[in-house]
């Protein structure tokens, strides 16, 4: 199944692939060159399709568990100063998504959306230390009955050119449901209360809606 945010790009890519394949068949005499061109456009289409895939992952909601919002690799676990919303120290967990990962953003927990804001910005590589503050990004805060207020931030990377955010202030977030999408390379930061028990380690692979990032009794 594919994400709705990829519908237009998938359609355009399909048209281009078919057109190039047909033109190569008609106008290129060399069988080898014809094969190479058709193979290249086919691989291009496959890459587009895999990027916009949206696997359905049933979630049994649990307020004491905070789930990974995206697929990727855990690249940061550290205490930092969060300057936009909390303006105090928080525990940051960051997940980096490569272009081959599923790029759906999922709500990490249930709760009331207290804050949602879009920021235009730069396109530094997603793992750059200043990407969280200078890149194009969206900031969302969910108030959960167990964790309290948790902030997650979608951050565009060097290749990303559009962040989609479905969270709006006043909405109820449903754990595991689609919260948005980041097109072509990115990262998501989580900012948790100090003392939260982290359930992942650096360089661990995370699966959105499945991997337990944190536990709170």
Alpha helices in the chain, H assignment, sequence order: 7-27, 31-51, 131-134
CA distance 91 to 123: 24
CA dihedral 211, 93, 104, 142 (to 10 degrees): 100
Tokens linked to 164 = 């989609």
- Name the catalytic one among 83, 94, 186, 201: 186
Q: How, if at all, do strands 72-82 and 205-206 pair?
A: antiparallel
Q: Please provide the DSSP assignment of 64-110 as one string.
A: TEEE-SSSEEEEEEEEEEETTTT-EEEEEEEEEE-TTS--EEE-SS-
Residue 148, both tokens: 């309290």
Q: Answer yes or no: 13 catalytic.
A: no
Bridge partners, residue 161, by sequence: none
Catalytic center residues? 186
């Amino acid at each position: 199944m594919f994400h709705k945010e990829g519908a237009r790009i998938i359609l355009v890519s399909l048209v281009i692939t078919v057109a190039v394949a047909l033109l190569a068949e008609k106008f290129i005499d060399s069988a080898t060159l014809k094969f190479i061109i058709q193979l290249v456009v086919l691989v291009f289409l496959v890459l587009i399709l895999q990027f916009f895939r949206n696997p359905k992952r049933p979630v049994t909601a649990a307020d004491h568990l905070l789930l990974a919002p995206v697929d990727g690799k855990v690249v940061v676990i550290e205490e930092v100063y969060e300057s936009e919303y909390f303006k105090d120290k928080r525990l940051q967990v960051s997940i980096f998504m490569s272009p081959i990962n599923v790029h759906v953003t999922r709500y990490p927990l249930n709760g009331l959306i207290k804050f949602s804001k879009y920021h235009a910005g730069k396109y530094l590589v997603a793992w750059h230390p200043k990407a969280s503050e200078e890149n194009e990004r969206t900031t969302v805060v969910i108030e959960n009955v167990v964790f309290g207020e948790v902030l997650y931030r979608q951050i565009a990377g060097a290749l990303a050119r559009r962040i989609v955010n479905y969270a709006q202030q006043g909405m109820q977030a449903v754990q595991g449901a689609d919260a948005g999408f980041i097109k072509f390379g990115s990262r998501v930061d989580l900012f948790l209360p100090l003392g939260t028990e982290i359930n992942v380690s650096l360089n661990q692979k995370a699966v959105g809606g499945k991997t337990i990032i944190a536990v709170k009794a």
